[in-house]
Amino acid sequence: MMQDDRIAALATPLGESALAVIRTSGEGTLQALSRGFSRPGTLQEAPGNTIIYGWLQYDESRRVDEVTVAVFRAPRSYTGEESAEIYCHGSIPGIQKIMELLFTLGFRQAEPGEFSLRAFINGKMDLTRAEAVHEIVRSQSRKAQSLALNRLSGRVFEEIDRVKSRLVDIMAAVSVQLDYPDDELPGEDDDSGYVRSLIPMDTVQDAVSGLERLVSSYRSGRLYQQGARVALAGQTNAGKSSMFNLFLKEDRSIVSNIHGTTRDYIQAPVVLDGIPLSLYDTAGLREVDEIIEKEGIRRSGQVIENSSVILYLVDGTNSDKSAHAFDEKQLERIGELNLPCVKIWTKTDLPQCAPAPKGFLPLSMISGEGFDRVQQAMMEALLQGERLAGDGDLVIDSLRQKQLIDDALDGLQQALTSMEGDQPLDIIAMDLQRSIRSLGEITGEVSSEDILDRVFSGFCVGK
Ligand SMILES: Nc1nc2c(ncn2[C@@H]2O[C@H](COP(=O)(O)OP(=O)(O)OP(=O)(O)O)[C@@H](O)[C@H]2O)c(=O)[nH]1
Ligand SMILES: [Mg+2]
C-alpha cells in the first residue's frame, strides 16, 4: 500500500438507503474533489470540521448527485491526513457513478483497512485501538460492542504500556551495568542479591500477573465476539426440540411424541448473557435402517462433533436398560472427543420420572424448572474456568495480541527462572528484552510490514 496518494471507498453497506457515506483521504483531497464539485472555491477554502453543500458533477450539464461534504484538515481527521466524507443518496447506481467520478479526479479505490492503516502510521492510534475499531464493527452482541469500546478507549494500550515501561526502567539499569561492568558495583558473577537489586523480583512478578490477567480474558473475549456452537443431542424423544424452543422462546422446531420427529438438524441464533450462540437441534440418535433418518443422524453427528459444547439430553421417564447403555456409549464417545458436555435429565415434571443420577441436571421443559441451572452449567463449560467479563472489564479479543502477550510472559518467566538459578546478568537481560519487544509489537511501537498487513488486511474496505 502506498501512503502518499489519495484513496476513496464506500464506508457504508452497498444497498438502498437514505444516505451513504463515501470516505476520501490523502494530501490534496479537497483540491482534487473540488474539480468535480459545483462550488469548488467554497470547498477548497472550507475550514476543517465543516460541512459544505453542493453537487458532485463532471460539469453543470453532467451532474452525478446532490451531496454534503464533511471537510477534515490534517491532522484533525480519522487518518490524520486531509480528508473528506461525502454524504450522498444511498442508491447502488448512484454510488457507482460517484466512485467513477472520484477515480477520474485522481482517487484510487482504498484497500481493506487502509484508512485505519494510515491512522496508525500517522500516529492517530496504536495497533490495539486500530484492532478495536475492527472489533466494534464486527461485534455481534451489545456486550461484545461494549468490551470493544473499552479497548478503543485505549485500555489495552495503557495496561501493556504500564507493564512495559516498568520493564524498560529495569532494562535501563541493567544495560548501564552491562556496558560498564567495572563501575563501583560488583561484577556480574557476584552474588544474586546484587542482580536482584537491579531487577526487583516483585516488579517482574507484578508484570507477570498483569499479563496473565489479560491472557485469561481472551477466552471470554473470544466468546463474546465469535460466540459458540451449542448442540442439543440425545436419543429420540429425549426433549431436544422442546429445549430448542425453550431457548428461542418460540415454537420453532416440531415437537411430538413420535420417535424420530427431527430429521434435518435445525440451527438458530440466540444471545445469552451477551454471548451470541448458534443453537442446533439435531436428529435423535438411534439405530435405524430407514435411509433418510439415517442420513439425518449422520449429519447431526457432524454438527455434534463440531460444536463448542454439547447439551446431552436423557429422557428421565425411560426405564429401558438398553436405552441407558446406548446413552452411556454416546457419552463415552463425546468424552473421547474431548468436547465439553452438560448432561441433562428431562421430563422431571412427570411422576414416572426417575430421580436424576449423579452428574445430570434435572430439567422440565413444561415448567422450565432447572433451565437456569442448565444455562449456567453451559456457560461454565464454555468458559472453562474463566469468569464472565463485566461491561467495564478489560478483555482482549485479538489472537495476535494474545500470542504476543504469551511470548512476553514466556520471556519474563524465563528471566525469573534464570534469576533463581543465579544465571549471569546478560542472559537475564536477553529474556527481558524479548518481553519488551513482544509488548512493543502489541501496540505497534515495534512493527513491520508483515505485522501491519496481518492486522489491517482483515478489515473491511472503507475502514
Ligand atoms: N412432560 C414433559 N414432556 C416433555 C418434556 N420434554 C419433552 N417432552 C415431550 O416429549 C416428547 C418428545 O419431545 P421432543 O422435544 O420432540 O423430543 P426430541 O428429542 O426432539 O425427539 P426427536 O426429534 O424424535 O429426536 C414430546 O411429546 C414432548 O412434549 C418435559 O420436560 N416434560
Ligand atoms: Mg426433535
Q: What is the CATH number of the domain that holds 230?
A: 3.40.50.300
CA 416 – ligand 2 centroid, Å: 56
- Domain check: are 414 and 312 in the same one? yes
> Within 13 Å, how many C-alpha atoms sit on residue 202's CB side?
0
What pLDDT does 223 receive?
86
77-91, 217-231, 274-288, 336-350, range with the lowest pLDDT: 217-231
- Domain check: are 70 and 144 in the same one? no
CA 136 to chain centre: 9
Residue 188 confidence class, pLDDT cut points 50, 70, 90: very low
Over pLDDT 90: what percentage of the chain?
75
What pLDDT does 190 receive?
53
Last residue of a domain, one of 75, 92, 126: 126
What pLDDT does 2 receive?
59
- Domain check: are 119 and 65 in the same one? yes
CA 263 – ligand 2 centroid, Å: 8
CA 376 – ligand 2 centroid, Å: 23
**In this model, does residue 222 exceed pLDDT 60?**
yes
**In this model, does residue 323 exceed pLDDT 70?**
yes
Residue 363 domain-assigned?
A: yes
The residues with which 461 forms a beta bridge, in sequence order, are 112
- Domain check: are 180 and 302 in the same one? yes
Contact 229, 308 (CB under 8 A): yes
* 372-420 pLDDT tens trace: 999 999 999 988 777 777 777 888 988 999 999 999 999 999 999 999 8
Domain range spanning residue 380?
A: 140-444
- What would the grid cell of residue 354 be? 426417575
- Euclidean distance between the first and final Cα of the chain, in Å? 15
Q: Supply φ then ψ for residue 426, to 5 degrees.
A: -65, -30
Q: How many domains does the chain have?
A: 2
Q: Please provide the average confidence, as pLDDT, over all residues in the chain.
A: 91
Q: Which residues line ligand 1 (CB under 6 A)?
A: 234, 236-242, 255-257, 259-262, 284, 346-347, 349-350, 364-366
What average pLDDT does this structure show over 324-348? 95
Residue 1 domain-assigned?
A: no
166-175, 236-245, 295-304, 382-391, range with the lowest pLDDT: 382-391
Last residue of a domain, one of 97, 126, 155: 126
Query: Can you tell me which atom of ligand 1 is nearest the CA of 285?
Result: 25
CA 351 – ligand 2 centroid, Å: 22
- Domain check: are 121 and 157 in the same one? no
The protein residues having their C-beta less than 5 angstroms from ligand 2 (an ion) are 240-241, 261-262
Residue 198 domain-assigned?
A: yes
Residue 462 domain-assigned?
A: no
Over pLDDT 70: what percentage of the chain?
97
Residue 260 domain-assigned?
A: yes
| Atom 21 (ligand 1) nearest CA | 237
